[in-house]
Chains A and B, each alone.
Chain A
Amino acid sequence: MFTTGSKLFIGASALALAGTLIYSATQDSGAIGTLGLVSATIVLVFLMGINFWVRDSNVSSMDTPGIVACSAAHPAPGRSMWPMVAGLGSALVPVGLIVGKTITWIAVIVLMIATVEWMVQSWSERASSDAAYNAGIRKRILHPMELPVLGAIGLGMMIFSFSRIMLHLPSAAGAIVFGGIAATVLLFGALIAAKRQVGRSLVATLCAIGAVGLIGAGVASAVAGGRHIAKHELAQRTDSVDNCTGNESEADSHSSRAIAGKANLAGLIVLQGDKLYAEVIGINGRQDTLTLPRSTDSFFEFKNLDSGKHRLVADLGHEVVDPGTDKERKVPLILCTQAVGEGGKQFIVIKPPRPTSADQQYFFEVPGIDSKLKIEVP
């Protein structure tokens, strides 16, 4: 009389009821627990009633249409991960509502994806009695969406991993590591190409190991953080040469800015034998006058070939501050580099705002050295 399913739910309902009674009788402050057990009892009784009513979907052998239409007569549905993904999305929604919008949005997107995938999968599995055909129509509908998205995610993961690893490694090691990776890929590619028969599982395993290794290294590098990049000291602005301070630091020779500076030089300024001279692209010989465009950044490298520490100073006259207001005033425009020892280098960027004139002359000079480079700004 009672089917197997009904018996299961009858037993579970009885157990839940007994548990409720015992828990409520023995626990003084167990209102929430009692409430939970009562809820469970109600749900189980409800399921027991449904099961009892439909008699585990038993179909009478006399009911021919029922035999054809009953769920047991259909092929069993295939394995699906989408209920699990949907569950994950559902669990993430309240977490996101508490923690932050980003997680909520991710949860909603996960839920939407799971819903669409689950729906299409369920529909396709009932499309016909031919499982292969059903799988085919599922692919036809979902692959145009799945493949670009998965490709983008894969590419993004790869770019993210590469970038984190490169930022984490020292600049010299980066070249070696990635040279090694490229060589390894080439080697495996050549080996695979040389073999007549290569097992798909072998290639898949190698690719999987590579991908996991790359992403793992990327995540580890991201957690460890980027390498320290020394910040080059900029030329110091001051109102008097006497206020120039600062000495060469480790950053002066190990900063990325040093490379950028070298690539953009308007000229090289050298201190040698107590004389200051300039070397400029296109003009042969040592120059004692530099012509620079106004209102434009001009990069120079200062090289100290004399003994002792020296700094280069750019004297660009005066600058008008707060023009056209009551506070309008002239302030000296002086820039100085760090002091460097013999063989040391410093970069300086100057941007003369006004042209030179009889009463406004600009110079490069080195404090303590009686030699100047004239700057002409037409």
Chain B
Amino acid sequence: MTNLRTRYRRSALSAAAVGALTLLAGCAKDAPQDTFQPAGENAREINNLQRPPFMIAGVVLVIVIGVVFLCVIKFRDRGQVIPKQTHGKPALEIALTIIPALILIGIGIPTVKTLFDLAKTSDTQCVVNVTGQQWWWEYDYPVQPGCLPGGITQPIVTANQMVIPAGQHVLLRITSRDVIHSFWIPKLNGKRDAVPGRVHTLRMQADQPGMYLGQCTEFCGLSHAYMRMEAVALDAPGFSAWVTNQLAAYTPPPAGTPAADGEAVFLANCSRCHQVNGIAGSDGKPVIARPDLWVYSGATPNLTNLMTRTTFAGASFDLLTPDCRAKLVDAKSADFTALYLKGVEANCLDAVQLREWLRNPPGKKPMYTDATKLGPTNGKTRGMPNLGLSENQIDQIIAYLAERK
């Protein structure tokens, strides 16, 4: 008997501990992808909408569970006579129909209003095209009068980190090049599917400069889990500086340096797929990448200003060392823009990750690159294949890329 009681007590304690831990996990202050910690007006609207129903649902849950337990304990079988059974209680049934209906109407009205608010495009101040493909995100900034006081006069293309001006109403036009993906940065808004051939819009606004993390939320193949995204909000002068830097003319590395050797290696091995704007071949003509001939999605990340962003390969790996990354992510809003605009400095470059990637990309992130299995894609890869680079070539490429900012 004592053993049984001890066992019950242990089970109850274990269940209570698990419940408490689950509850505590929901209170984490530093959860980077927490929809309950909105950092922009759109996410805040969603949060304001979802909290009251959660509370009502919580109260209903407690009442239902309480009544169930009460019935189980109070009316348990003690051998008593079964009470007279009755059928139908119109007043109760009407009440139990009307109360949920009223609750649903109460939830439905603000839900519809929020849906319309979140679909609004008329107050857009800045437009970014977002294109998903296996397994990274491309962001391009069309020529437009918005984003900056003078507008954007030349298109910009970047990858993995979407830079936006803090405080502005940014409209994302989301699509896909291959399969269905889904774009979600929980602190800034809800999710939106990226569907080939369709353009879906999503409002985005960040109150303060900072970094906001997200994750592809539609299973999209082998490396779905490695398809992340980061929204980087900069203050207005910082965003202007970022745009100016993105549109700056190409600076070739000084002759005779490892970076210059790296440029040659890049031209020979990487430029058929990866674009670096302004790079020229030995004949002096601009080199235009043709990923559409080699890659199933038809696109690869533009590497013109690789070191102005802090991640690579679908935002799965850091270009920054863990210390530098932590310093950036944890920076106060007022300090964030200046820190981010420094890009990846030499003392912060995590060359180990980049070296591992260049040595064998499919080994670091699963991708469909086995030449013998590419029949369905007509010989085109889904992701970056192993180029068989030597260690010397890898060092030279890293030296070259380290200057791309």
Contacts and interface: CB of A to CB of B under 8 A. Distances in A.
Interface of A: 263-266, 280-285, 289-299, 320, 323, 349, 353-355, 357-360, 376-378
B366 interface: no
Contacts of A280: 127, 142
A290 B155 CA distance: 10
Contacts of B253: none
A276 B146 CA distance: 22
Interface in B103-153: 121, 124, 127, 129, 131, 138, 140-146
A33 B173 CA distance: 83
A291 B143 CA distance: 6
Contacts of B330: none
B298 A281 contact: no
Given A263-B198, A299-B197, A378-B155, A283 B144 contact: yes
A358 B298 contact: no
A86 B344 CA distance: 80
A323 B289 CA distance: 13
A264 B297 CA distance: 19
Nearest to A289: B143
A293 B140 CA distance: 7
A200 B146 CA distance: 70
Contacts of A296: 131, 175-177, 196, 298-299
B129 A265 contact: no
B175 A282 contact: no
B140 A282 contact: no
A293 B138 contact: yes
A263 B175 CA distance: 13
B298 A291 contact: no
Given A283-B145, A291-B129, A376-B143, A264 B201 contact: no
A376 B152 CA distance: 12
Given A295-B177, A378-B140, A283 B291 contact: no
Interface in B276-304: 286, 288, 290-293, 297-299, 302
Contact of B142 (A264, A291, A353, A360): A291
Contact of A282 (B171, B176, B290): B171
A263 B196 CA distance: 13
Contacts of B399: none
A283 B171 CA distance: 9
Interface of B: 121, 124, 127, 129, 131, 138, 140-146, 154-157, 171, 173, 175-177, 196-199, 201, 275, 286, 288, 290-293, 297-299, 302
Given A293-B129, A378-B156, A265 B145 contact: no
A282 B121 contact: yes
Contacts of A284: 124, 145
Given A293-B129, A357-B288, A378-B157, A283 B197 contact: no
B290 A354 contact: yes
B142 A283 contact: yes
A336 B234 CA distance: 42
Nearest to A263: B198
A222 to B, nearest CB: 32
Contacts of B140: 291, 293, 378
Contacts of B141: 291, 378
Contacts of A265: 199
26 contacts: A263-B198, A264-B199, A266-B199, A281-B121, A282-B124, A282-B127, A282-B201, A284-B145, A285-B145, A291-B142, A293-B129, A293-B140, A294-B299, A296-B176, A296-B177, A320-B290, A323-B290, A323-B293, A349-B197, A354-B288, A354-B290, A357-B288, A359-B286, A376-B155, A378-B141, A378-B302
A295 B291 CA distance: 9
Nearest to B130: A293
4 tightest CB-CB pairs across the interface, nearest first? A295-B298, A291-B142, A378-B157, A378-B155
Given A264-B197, A282-B171, A354-B290, A295 B145 contact: no
Nearest to B122: A284
A357 B129 CA distance: 19
Contacts of A283: 124, 127, 142, 144-146
A284 B122 CA distance: 8
Contacts of A289: 143
A211 to B, nearest CB: 32
A297 B171 CA distance: 20
A281 B199 contact: yes
A78 B265 CA distance: 89
Contact of A293 (B131, B290, B291, B293): B131
Given A293-B140, A298-B199, A357-B288, 20 more contacts: A283-B127, A283-B145, A290-B142, A291-B144, A293-B138, A293-B177, A293-B299, A294-B299, A295-B291, A295-B292, A296-B175, A320-B293, A323-B290, A376-B142, A376-B143, A376-B154, A377-B155, A378-B155, A378-B156, A378-B302
Contacts of B302: 378
Contacts of B129: 291-293
Contacts of B146: 283
B137 to A, nearest CB: 11
B65 to A, nearest CB: 34
A259 to B, nearest CB: 13
B288 A353 contact: no
A200 B120 CA distance: 55
B281 to A, nearest CB: 13
B292 A353 contact: yes
Given A283-B124, A354-B290, A293 B198 contact: no
A85 B184 CA distance: 59
A353 B286 CA distance: 17
Contact of B298 (A323, A353, A359): A353
Nearest to B285: A359
- Which of B124, B145, B293, B298 has the largest count of A CB atoms less than 10 A from its CB? B298
Contacts of B292: 294-295, 353-354
Given A299-B197, A353-B292, A293 B175 contact: yes
